[in-house]
Amino acid sequence: MRMVDLIADKRDGKEHSPEEIRFIVKGYTEGSIPDYQMSAWAMAVVLRGLTPRETAELTMAMAASGEQLDLSGIPGVKVDKHSTGGVGDKTTLVVGPLVAAAGIPVAKMSGRGLGHTGGTIDKLESIAGFQVERTREQFLAQVRDIGIAVIGQSGNLTPADKKLYALRDVTATVESVHLIASSIMSKKISAGADAILLDVKVGSGAFMKTVEAAEELARTMVEIGRQVGRKTVAVLSDMNQPLGYAVGNALEVREAIACLSGKGPDDLTELALTIGAHMLMLAGRHETFAQAREHLQELLESGAAKEKFRQLIAAQGGDTRVVDDPSLLPEAAYKLDVLAEQSGFIAKIDAEKIGRASVVLGAGRLTKEMEIDLGVGILLNGKVADPVTAGSRLATVYANSPESAETARREIMAAIEISAEPVERPNLLYTTVAAT
């Protein structure tokens, strides 16, 4: 087999055989296929696409390219959750303990933030002492003991995807629904998931800017799941405005704790209950979605989910006192209010711009090596459609220097639009995609 022929086949719109896909993934991972050939192939895929069978084959070949986590020693259906990334998206911090409190094992590997979106692992590190690195044995033992562990991505999972994603990033070949879908699904499968719940974000702060694009990605991932025997459900949720009110690591942990105490923002609570209920359904725990959701609502109200979060923090060496006293979380030195210049209704809170303002403060990183500042961020004071009066507080900036506070304030002003006319409350949830 010669890579040049496979590139030509894809250029001409032909379908690869499973052997050919495996040859490409193996060759690229091992280095016998050079970057220039792989980029030509990736571009041919962008232009010609992949069939569902090719996409599933590519996913499994990438999942098998490195280590694969074996979760079979943990009893029960292991349902993983993945978000395509957003601003203020602290859902895992709520859904993880919530679902674990319902008795569904949560063995979660999460990422760090990059660019304008945050990462669960950084957020957890704002709890003093919290260890995100665990050996495989410690990770599995903790899930068996308390039903939940959340650690950073470690080991040599999906090296083919790591290499290909880095190449796509610099060859204008990220924008292929088939390559994105196989990249995401390969990581979930190698992390040991039996079933997968995908939170596909839609809007200005998300990778997918339109419902149509997000739905296509969701359908492609659900189809991969069907082909490879992993039940997969995708929920499309809004990312035109940040989720909840808090953006920034410690601020988001504080909001997640409020949510676990039954006092969270409506949108975060609703999304967590929806995602959690789908996870319970995927695990075969309930007959109907309504029953699953009601069960989770009870676990929030009874304090069982919050208790599970406390157990998670204790098991990973963190300071559990933050659960009852979030003021122990790191807090920035300066607070600066962002005030409305006119009365009216909030028409827009551009999630991407708010995310970028949080990066200015140091809450996120522009390169993988950058250190982040856990105490800084933005606390919004309203959501789209809320009324405001001139001079009222739109947001508070938490900063560690007056200069960064002022820059962020200006960026937040540019991100928020106020209309004189009432504005309709936007959707939080668009649609759910499941295999038929």
Place of tokens 């459609």: 385
Instruction: Report the residue number, 180 or 338, with the smaller CB distance to ligand URA.
Output: 180
Give the residues lining the site for ligand URA (CB under 6 A): 165, 174, 179-180, 183-184, 207
Beta bridge partners of 388: 344
Q: Could you give phi then psi for residue 128, rounded to 5 degrees? A: -55, 130
Instruction: Report the residue number, 98 or 157, with the smaller CB distance to ligand URA.
Output: 157
Instruction: Report the residue number, 86 or 318, with the smaller CB distance to ligand URA.
Output: 86
Instruction: Report the residue number, 184 or 233, with the smaller CB distance to ligand URA.
Output: 184
If we measure between CA atoms, which residue out of 304, 300, 309 comes closest to residue 262? 300
Q: How far apart are CA 114 and CA 187, in angstroms?
A: 17
Closest residue to ligand URA in the complex (CB)? 183
Instruction: Report the residue number, 153 or 400, with the smaller CB distance to ligand URA.
Output: 153
Minimum gap (Å) between residue 342 Cβ and ligand URA: 38
Specify whether 82 is catalytic: yes
From 161, 194, 267, 373, the catalytic residue: 161
Quick one: three-class SS letters along 374-428?
CCCEEEECCCCCCEECCCCEEEEEEECCHHHHHHHHHHHHHHEEEECCCCCCCCC
Minimum gap (Å) between residue 186 Cβ and ligand URA: 9
If we measure between CA atoms, which residue out of 435, 433, 355, 436 comes closest to residue 199? 433
E strand spans, 6-74: none
Minimum gap (Å) between residue 329 Cβ and ligand URA: 29
Q: At what angle do helices 35-48 and 177-190 cross, to 10 degrees?
A: 110
275: Cα separation from own chain's centroid: 12
Specify whether 306 is catalytic: no
From 78, 187, 188, 308, the catalytic residue: 187
Q: Which amino acid is at 62?
A: M
Q: Helical H runs in 106-195?
A: 120-124, 136-146, 159-169, 177-190
Q: What angle do CA 30, 34, 37 make, to 5 degrees?
A: 130
Minimum gap (Å) between residue 368 Cβ and ligand URA: 14
Coil, strand or helix at 150: strand
Minimum gap (Å) between residue 327 Cβ and ligand URA: 35
From 168, 188, 293, 306, the catalytic residue: 168
Instruction: Report the residue number, 217 or 379, with the smaller CB distance to ligand URA.
Output: 217
Minimum gap (Å) between residue 217 Cβ and ligand URA: 9
From 10, 16, 81, 82, the catalytic residue: 82
Minimum gap (Å) between residue 169 Cβ and ligand URA: 9
Neighbours of 206 (CB within 10 A): 26
Q: How far apart are CA 397 and CA 436, in angstroms?
A: 46
Tokens of 241: 């405005």
Specify whether 176 is catalytic: no
Give the list of residues 6+ apart from residue 164 with CB closer than 8 angstroms, or none: 28, 38, 42, 62, 179, 183
Q: How far apart are CA 24 and CA 182, in angstroms?
A: 14
Instruction: Report the residue number, 165 or 334, with the smaller CB distance to ligand URA.
Output: 165
Task: Report, as residue numbers or ranges, the catalytic residues.
Answer: 82, 161, 168, 183, 187
